[in-house]
Structure 1
Amino acid sequence: MRIINLLIVVITTGLLSSCGYNSMVEKDESVAQLWAQVETQYQRRADLIPNLVNTVKGYADFEKETLTAVIEARAKATSVNVDPSNLTQEDLNKFQAAQGQLSGALSRLLVTIERYPDLKANQNFRDFQAQLEGTENRISVARQRFNDGVKDYNSYIRQFPRVIYAGWFDFEKKAYFESEAGTEKAPEVNF
C-alpha cells in the first residue's frame, strides 16, 4: 500500500511540475504590470492637462465651454479604474470610452488654440504641447506592449496540456485593448 501511495505522489508531482503553473503566474503578473504601464501613461496625460489648461487660460480670452469640457473629461477619465486581475472587454471598453472623450476634448482644445497666434508662440505652451504629443505616443506604445503581453498569456494558457491546468487553477483569458469604433476612418479636416 505504501508503494502505491508513494507512486501516486511521485506521478502527481511529476504531472503538476510540468503543468506550467509557475509560468502561468509569471505571465499573469506580466499582463498586470503591462496594464499598470498603460495606466501610468494615461495618468501622465491627465497630470499634464491642468498645466496646459492654465497656460491657455493665461494667454487667451478662451471659450469657457472648451476648457470645461477638457476638465470634465479629465475628471471622468481618471475616475475609471480597471482591475488588472480581471481584465474583461467590458471594463476595457469603459476605460477606453472615458479616455476617448478626453482625447476628443483635447483635440477640440488644440484646434481652438489655432486661433491664438500669441499662445502658439509661447514657450510654455509649446513645451506642454510637445509633452502631450510625446505622452500620446507613449500611450500607444504601452497599449501595444500590453496587447503583446495578453497575446503571450492567452496563447500560453490555451495550449495543450496547459489548457487543462489553467482551468483547474482559474487562469482565464484576458481581454485585449481594442481601438474605438470609427477610428479606422481618417478624420476630415476643413480649413
Structure 2
Amino acid sequence: MTRILAAAALLIAAGCANQGTTSAAEAAAPAAGSAVADLADAKGTRVGRAVGTEHGGMIHLSVEARSLPPGVHGIHVHTVGRCDAPDFTTAGSHWNPAGKQHGTENPQGPHAGDMPNLTIGADGRGSLTFMLPSGTLDGMLDADGAALVIHAAADDLKTDPSGNSGARLACGVFRRG
C-alpha cells in the first residue's frame, strides 16, 4: 500500500510540474472560435494551412502555402467541406449565400468566399491575409461544411462563376478550432 501511495504521489507531482507547459501539437491548435483547413495537393501532400477567425461580422482568413507552382493563383472559400482528389470538385462552388456574381470587380459581386489572388514565389511559398467582408463561421460551416481551394491560374476578379481561375491545385476542409 505504501508503494502505491508513493507512486501516486510521484505521478501527481509530475503532473503538477508539467502544468503550464504546452506540446508542439497543442501550440499549433487553433484558438476557440476559429476554423482551420490543412491544405493538401492532389497527391495528398500537405501544402499549407488556412485559419479563419470571426471579427465583427467578418471572417479574417490567414493562409500560408508551400510547395506550389510559382505564380499568381485564385483562392476561394468553397461551399462543401470535401476535398476528394485529384480534382477537388467535391468542394462545390464558391461560398455565395447572398446569390451574387463572382469577383470584387464585378458590379453584381462578389461571392462571400471570393478573395484576392495568392502569389507563390520562386521558392514555392506564399501567404495571404484577408477579411471576408460578410459572413460568420457558423454560416460558412453550415451542415455540409466549407473548404478552401487554391486554383492553378490567377482569378480575373470579375468573370462569373470562378474568375477563370482554372483547375484546383490544393484543397483543405475547414474544421472548428
What range describes the TM-score normalised by the shorter chain of this pair? under 0.3
TM-score w.r.t. the length of structure 1 is 0.26
Q: Which of the two has greater helix per residue?
A: 1
Which structure would you say has the larger Rg?
1
More strand by share: 2
Higher relative contact order (Cα pairs below 8 Å, separated by 6+ residues): 1
